[in-house]
Structure 1
């Protein structure tokens, strides 16, 4: 202590800093992180088990981007014969199909069906029960 009775010690941090320390001033904004084209994007909740092996589960939230041109391998949201579906777009013998990731559901051949592609799935948000 100094003669005036005040301490010359300074506060120090002991241990490892928090990993969140760099982000304290920022807020978490999933729109900023995930939505690339806001005017062409929308969210949708999944119902069903046809895409579970690709990590899309019942109750998950999908981010769909309508501005992406669908290509084979993309996961699409489409209106097929009046029903909304989430499936992987594939070509088999140059014919377009919407395919499930669950073998219990057969591929949907798109030839001669009324099909409107709503967009390409860009992200899946899966919540764990806690």
Structure 2
């Protein structure tokens, strides 16, 4: 974000806001974080299995369906009816957690498995939202 210092006169008597000296340029988080909006969805990370990859419980995940899934991509998938976020070992057909001593899950015949997209960004929430998002 670019911030340009500008002297501003509000015409009010009293203490001037610290922000009165700055004018912010227009900023779109969509443009900054999302390459292809029509192929992008947002999820909420739950659990601790991806912490060594920098994804923590409560983080917002930006997931792209247009991104090519590569060996060891961080993906969101549905495995046997449950959403999960893991690294995908294409060669071994395995889901890898980013936790020490975690064993890979080898995708077996009979598993219902579908990649829902590649995680392109994660956003850490430092202060909880005051209102709930979603249903």
Tell me the TM-score range normalised by the shorter chain: 0.7 to 0.9
Equivalences for 1:51-130 in 2 at 5 Å?
A: 51-91=50-90, 94-103=91-100, 105-112=102-109, 113-129=111-127
Decide whether the 8 Å contact of 1:74 with 1:88 is kept in 2: yes
Residue in structure 2 matched with residue 12 of structure 1 by the alignment:
none
Aligned structure 1 segments of 4 or more residues deviating by more than 6 angstroms: none
2:125 and 2:32 map into 1 onto residues whose CA distance is 17
2:67 and 2:44 map into 1 onto residues whose CA distance is 20
Structure 1 regions of 5+ residues with no counterpart? 1-18
1:104 and 1:85 map into 2 onto residues whose CA distance is 18
1:104 and 1:57 map into 2 onto residues whose CA distance is 18
How many pairs align? 110
TM-score, normalization: structure 2?
A: 0.73
Question: Is 1:36 the equivalent of 2:35?
Answer: yes
Decide whether the 8 Å contact of 1:46 with 1:62 is kept in 2: yes
Rg comparison, structure with higher value: 1
Structure 2 regions of 5+ residues with no counterpart? 6-21, 129-135
